[in-house]
Amino acid sequence: MATDYEKLYSAKSIVEKLNIPNKYMRRIMTNLSKNNFIVSIQGRDGGYKFMKSPDNIYLAEIIDSVDGIDKYMGCVLGFNECTPESSCAMHKSWTDTKEKLYNTLSKTSLANLIKDTINKF
């Protein structure tokens, strides 16, 4: 979809391509459109397209807006009271890993993903 980002894609075409449930996918798309990543056009010949260029959409933004980034930023071992001063055994190494991942996600745009490889999806 990002390969031709000004084109309108119907839910039906996306569902067929990705082989995922129709209604569920539409719910996700509606959510994305509420979060201003895509525009949804209702009515006959409607569909979804990007709101801005894929160069300017970063993975971290999407994750944060859909799932909430906090979900992935907590303690690996699930301790609530895990802080730098009083931390779990994996705290340091895991925090480092998270940071690195987050940096990558913040810098990687959808456009980057496209040009990287020959993709099926």
Partner DNA sequence: AACAAATGCTACAACGAAGTAGCATATAGA
Partner DNA sequence: TCTATATGCTACTTCGTTGTAGCATTTGTT
CB-wise, 71 or 121, nearer to a copy of itself?
Answer: 121
Applying CB under 8 A, does 116 fall inside the site for a copy of itself?
yes
CB-wise, 13 or 97, nearer to DNA?
Answer: 13
Q: Is 4 helix (H, G, I), strand (E, B) or coil?
A: helix
Q: Is 50 helix (H, G, I), strand (E, B) or coil?
A: strand
CB-wise, 29 or 57, nearer to DNA?
Answer: 29
We find the least distance from the C-beta atom of residue 91 to DNA, in angstroms, to be 19
Q: Which residues bind DNA (CB under 7 A)?
A: 10-12, 20-24, 26-27, 29-30, 33-34, 40-48, 71
For residues 59-78, which are near a copy of itself according to CB under 8 A?
A: 77
- Using an 8 Å Cβ cutoff, are 114 and 54 in contact? yes
Among residues 12, 27, 92, 107, which is the contact residue for a copy of itself, using CB under 8 A? Answer: 92
Nearest to 14 by CA among 53, 52, 40, 51: 40
Rounded CA separation 24/19 (Å): 12
Structure tokens at 18: 């990705």
CA terminus-to-terminus distance, the chain: 9
We find the least distance from the C-beta atom of residue 83 to DNA, in angstroms, to be 20
